[in-house]
Structure 1
Amino acid sequence: MTASNFTSTILVDKTPAEAFKAINNVRGWWQGEIEGNTEKLNDEFSYRMKDVHYSKQRIIESIPNEKVVWQVIDSELSSFKDKGEWTGTTIVFEITEVGDKTEIRFTHIGLVPTFECYGGCSWAWGELIQQSLFSFLTTGKGVNVFG
């Protein structure tokens, strides 16, 4: 992974198993319409936020309590020239024990500053990871970061 891929990291007072379970419960922290299964290797699910964002992900790696990887197999970002900019990118959640806490390192491989959507997409991912996923892990409820 290069430094230009978007990355966000959180540290929570939870076990790696709890972090793994929360990440896979996508409906708990990613706002919008989610269809399909989100928990096992080769599961496919779609995400839609009104008419603004659509993406379809396949879980291509799932190592319990350590790592979850999604491949974006289709996308349509309506407000950008290249509406399929996310297609072919990879979303990685790495879970690591740090003392008595757990670190989750989120990286969207391919979401780079040269992407037209980088500003808005990196902001949205930052909010989702830092606010909603963090809240979901610490309180059991994600927060609506999109207003």
Structure 2
Amino acid sequence: MSPNYTAEITVAATPQETYDAILRVPDWWGRITGTTTAVGDEFVYVVPGLHYSGFRVTELEPGHRIAWLVTGSHLSFISDTQEWTGTTVVFDISPAADGTGATVVFAHEGLTPEVECYEVCTNAWSMFVTGSLKSLIETGEGQPYDFDGTEALTDADHEDLHRGVREAVAAGSEERGA
């Protein structure tokens, strides 16, 4: 199998400032429900009518590392709509080689060229990590997806999505005999 998708950015900020900005998921990626600041926290990210994913925070090392397990997903534009389920998103943070900032190595473990969503998903991750997240870290302003008008989701919509992720996780556990 080919390597996982990765992207790397170097930013004019300390590793701790970088870590703190990554935890501000709505400010660089888009609206979420749930929380991202403690191991075990869960959140859902949604692109209305296209994509939702549930995440569990599995690792937090302040100034160094953040990892999220995808606990459930639905990608409407590919045949295996749950292709992300069971993959892991990782941010490894270190001081920049020149000593003037921080370097972030982003990896989506399980997102390899062999999976159907690779091209679309890596293009999106690139936009958010190398564009929006980098901008948030360096300027305080990201460019997250912002859905309003007919695409707006209510709190009830988000609760339905959380429920869908929980049900997908439960169904997956039953299929594996857990």
Q: Settle same-fold status: TM greater than 0.5.
A: yes
Q: Which contiguous aligned blocks of 4+ residues in structure 1 show a shift greater than 3 angstroms?
A: none
Question: Of 31, 36, 46, which aligns to 1:38?
Answer: 36
Offset at 1:3? 6.0
Report if the CA contact (8 A) 1:132-1:145 is conserved.
Answer: no
Provide the rounded CA distance (Å) in 1 between the counterparts of 2:17 and 2:37: 13
TM-score (norm 1): 0.94
Percent identity (aligned): 40
Paired letter, 2:101 = K
Alignment-derived partner of residue 14 in structure 1: 13
Which of the two has greater helix per residue?
A: 2
Alignment-derived partner of residue 122 in structure 1: 122
Report if the CA contact (8 A) 2:28-2:128 is conserved.
Answer: yes
Alignment-derived partner of residue 81 in structure 1: 79
Give CA deviations for 1:32-62 in whole Å, capped at 9, x if unaligned: x310001111100000011101000000010
Provide the rounded CA distance (Å) in 1 between the counterparts of 2:2 and 2:105: 13
TM-score (norm 2): 0.78
SS at 2:123 equivalent: helix
Q: How many pairs were matched up?
A: 145
Alignment-derived partner of residue 141 in structure 2: 141
Offset at 1:4? 1.6
Question: Which ranges of structure 2 fall in alignment gaps of 5 or more residues?
Answer: 147-178
Q: Mapping of 1:43-54 within 5 angstroms?
A: 43-54=41-52
Offset at 1:100? 2.0
Provide the rounded CA distance (Å) in 2 between the counterparts of 1:3 and 1:73: 23
Provide the rounded CA distance (Å) in 1 between the counterparts of 2:2 and 2:59: 22
